[in-house]
Structure 1
Amino acid sequence: MEHIKEHFASSYQDAPNVIGIAAIENPYPYNPLIDGLDLLVLVVVKEGHACNETEHVQIEGQRVMIRTIDSAGLNEWLSGGENRNIIEWLVRGEILLDRDGYLSNVRERLLQFPDSMREQKQFSEFAGFLRTYLQAKQDLLDGNLLDAYSHVLTALNHWAHIVLIEEGRHPELTVWKQLKRVHPGIYKLYEELTVSPETLEQRVQLVMLGCEFSVMTKMKTSCVLLFNILRSREEPWSIAELQSHSSIHALHVDLSLVLQKLVKREYIREVAVMHELGDIGALELRYMMTENEI
């Protein structure tokens, strides 16, 4: 395997657009960490020089996956949770090429887990939690019990991630094993949902009660990222402006759902303004902090 790593390091050594290469071996056969192949080679290039590209090759009998991403795309992966394995790739991978210490700096930032990254991840997890929790609630009303179970289990997973982020831990690296020590209450709900002798409906309803409480307690702290954006100017923000903001656009969250929930809880307020296109029959809804929250 070392010869293969040396091959990639030398192959890209003179490529001017490549700024970093990391490699991680598959610890077990068919481990999903690198999709069941033997070796992953992550190639990071300068911004604008490549899209998200994947290639499978075979070298010396070893199956290798080559993932090429530009620096902007890598930042989106790190903040948005679209590729959760990226954290483990960068933390545990072996750096083969590192121009100007780019990958070393990325790894150090991940290990430090700065507030800006925590806020993005917590907001993204809360949006996912809110969406799946409300879907589970609707499933129960519709009598779709198995769908409700599936969605509430996903909501519980988002909740676990939020708690780990609050503790300064990357949820991509540790979830239930660490959570049992960090927050045994949530772990107990997980056990109640998965192994309790009660009926499936009773188990789902019990966890839904816990989720209902969590929505109330985690909403304000999980939406700090959005609140800071809304506070950054006096004029209210349109949904389009918020979605295109540099801190949010890479997160792939259901922003409309979060905004409506925050309005109902009176953390933010809705403002109807004249539409920019001049249509007197339609008012555009915009959002700003409530006066007592500014």
Structure 2
Amino acid sequence: MHNFIEQRLEVIREHNAIVSVLAVHKPSLYSAVTDGFDCLLLVVTRQDGQAQRHHVHYIKDNFRIQERWITPEALEEQIVHGVERSFIYWVLKGEILLDRETFLEGLRHRMLEFPEEIRDQKLLIEFSRFLRCYMRSKDYLSEEHLLDAYHDILEALHHWARIAIIEAGFHPEVTVWSQVKQINHGIYKLYEELTLSKETLKQRVELVLLACEFSVMSKMAACCKPLLQQLGSRSEAWSLEELQQCPQLTDVRNELPLLLNKLVKKTLAKEVIAAADPELSSLELRYQDVKQAVV
């Protein structure tokens, strides 16, 4: 099918707006990394309308190809903020067929460098998701909804594994558990205990909840660095609405109430009471960095 891909590439080259083309071949028979297709062609174009319209499937001699078009901005957004981990695999593992402005080479290089700013952003995202699942599991367990508690603590453990991978300087890939096994065997062991142990379901959930409480919650300050930096960026306390409008916190805007509540309880942030609606005689809670509060 190499000739067919080459023929398709020649057609794509005629579009002046095309920046790069990447080919990703299905690594194994049952892999979903290419959505089940034998090959994925990722076409990077500067025309947003063109990218939105173009998502085509081909077949020739029983060889199936998926062609997806995307803008450079949308691809970078997926790498930094997206939840679809396949994009990271595609950029890191794919074969670059066309790269007029060395866009993909540059993006791949930045990903491998994994600069601190992107690491901090990903840690905040993963910690917010971990915290939500962890808290839900505790609630379900207290109400004896064991299967729901199990589901959420397994999801929390998955985010903990991703946190460990990011801390080690790597992008979490599609196969997180095989990846974390090489980086943090303790987390992998907990995964085995949760899924394979002969203890009761309740005992397994309790074990992982306890490990999360002592291990991951101690990482709150490091994982919430972008949020704490935002709180400390001015002397005045911040309202929830103001924080939700900050571009740096867009990815966790829905989780900010839970994050702020936990930061206050851990004395990493401080609540400040401010006047709100006089007609309702209500007071507004605002949030401040602890160091600013001391000053």
Shared fold (TM-score, shorter chain, > 0.5): yes
C-alpha contact (below 8 Å) 1:273/1:286 kept by paired residues: yes
**Shift of residue 52, structure 1, vs aligned partner:** 5.4
Q: 41-50 or 105-114: which moved more?
A: 41-50
**Shift of residue 200, structure 1, vs aligned partner:** 1.0
Note the 1:119-268 alignment, pairs <5 A.
119-172=120-173, 175-250=176-251, 254-268=255-269
1:145-177 residue CA offsets vs partner (Å, 9 max, x unmatched): 011111111111111111111111111155322
Aligned counterpart, 1:39: 39
C-alpha contact (below 8 Å) 2:45/2:51 kept by paired residues: no
Whichever residue aligns with residue 136 of structure 1, its letter is S
Take 2:53 and 2:229, find their aligned partners in 1: how far apart are those partners? 34
**Gaps spanning 5+ residues in structure 2: where?**
none
Give the number of equivalent residue pairs. Answer: 293
Quickly say closer, same or farther: Cα 1:137–1:250, change in 2 above 3 A: closer
**Shift of residue 220, structure 1, vs aligned partner:** 0.8
Note the aligned Cα RMSD (angstroms): 2.5
**Shift of residue 94, structure 1, vs aligned partner:** 1.2
Take 1:288 and 1:20, find their aligned partners in 2: how far apart are those partners? 45
Aligned counterpart, 2:117: 116
Higher relative contact order (CA 8 A, sep 6+): 1
Aligned counterpart, 1:11: 11
Quickly say closer, same or farther: Cα 1:35–1:190, change in 2 above 3 A: same
Take 1:161 and 1:223, find their aligned partners in 2: how far apart are those partners? 15
Aligned counterpart, 1:70: 71
Aligned counterpart, 1:27: 27
Whichever residue aligns with residue 16 of structure 1, its letter is N
C-alpha contact (below 8 Å) 1:44/1:70 kept by paired residues: yes
Whichever residue aligns with residue 14 of structure 2, its letter is D
Q: 74-83 or 48-57: which moved more?
A: 48-57
**Shift of residue 118, structure 1, vs aligned partner:** 0.7
**Shift of residue 235, structure 1, vs aligned partner:** 3.0
Larger fraction in helix: 2
Q: 185-194 or 120-129: which moved more?
A: 185-194
Quickly say closer, same or farther: Cα 1:284–1:210, change in 2 above 3 A: same
Quickly say closer, same or farther: Cα 1:49–1:69, change in 2 above 3 A: same
1:230-272 residue CA offsets vs partner (Å, 9 max, x unmatched): 2233333333333333333246762221121112212112334
Whichever residue aligns with residue 112 of structure 2, its letter is L
**Gaps spanning 5+ residues in structure 1: where?**
none
1:29-68 residue CA offsets vs partner (Å, 9 max, x unmatched): 3411011111111122227445656624224232222222
**Shift of residue 141, structure 1, vs aligned partner:** 1.2
Whichever residue aligns with residue 258 of structure 2, its letter is L
Whichever residue aligns with residue 26 of structure 2, its letter is N
Q: 246-255 or 164-173: which moved more?
A: 246-255
C-alpha contact (below 8 Å) 1:46/1:70 kept by paired residues: yes
TM-score (ref. length: structure 2) = 0.89
Take 1:51 and 1:128, find their aligned partners in 2: how far apart are those partners? 30
1:150 is paired with a residue of what secondary structure?
helix
